Amino acid sequence: MKSVLVLNQDFTPLTICSVQRAFLLVYLNKAELINDVHGRQLRTVTTSFPFPSVIKIINYVSLPYRGVVLTRHNVFKRDGFTCQYCGTRSDLTLDHLVPRSKGGKSNWTNLVTACKPCNAKKGDYSLEQSGMRLRKSPTKPSYLVFLKKSMNSFNQDWLPYLEPKAHAS
């Protein structure tokens, strides 16, 4: 099923939702249609509606925290569901670069996706002590970058709204 980009009243990206949810928000006048998928319609027995691609919320939604929440799944997403040591995509877990037993914290820059064999090989050692190398250094993802990466069905209509300087009016 296609996804729909949801913009705040000021055209900043809020989230991604299902077509059904987007249609309902537009139908209930809680959002307005910005872009639709050309050549596709949502149909009832008597009426056709545009198939939404981008919608904008009518009333501004204040978001006090615009960061990406640190969860196991979000670390996997950031790392592309790939072991950061060997590149495999199976049997994945999380690894603390500085082990918790040595004061390592659970944060974006200390956690990476690792397969169980690599995690066991690294063991209770720091990255330097283990002699292992990362494919890329872990960073805290920005909200926009994370939103782009987490999209299963990217639509070219979204690109202007996901770029930092792009704002329509």
Query: So where are the chain's domains?
Result: 3-64+142-162, 72-130
Per-residue pLDDT at 150: 64
pLDDT at 163 over 50: yes
Per-residue pLDDT at 153: 58
Tell me the per-residue pLDDT of 92-150, one tens digit each, with 9 for 90 and over.
Answer: 999 999 999 999 999 999 999 999 999 999 999 999 999 999 999 999 988 777 776 66
DSSP string, 19-88: HHHHHHHHHTTSEEEEEEEEEEEEE-SS-EEEEEEEEEESS----S--S----HHHHHHHTTTS-TTT--
Q: Which residue has the higher pLDDT, 55 or 166?
A: 55
Tell me the per-residue pLDDT of 48-96, one tens digit each, with 9 for 90 and over.
Answer: 999 999 999 999 988 776 678 899 999 998 999 999 999 999 999 999 9
Tell me the per-residue pLDDT of 19-48, one tens digit each, with 9 for 90 and over.
Answer: 999 999 999 999 999 999 989 999 999 999
Q: Report the top-level CATH class of 72-130.
A: mainly alpha
Per-residue pLDDT at 167: 45
Token digits for 108?
């974006």
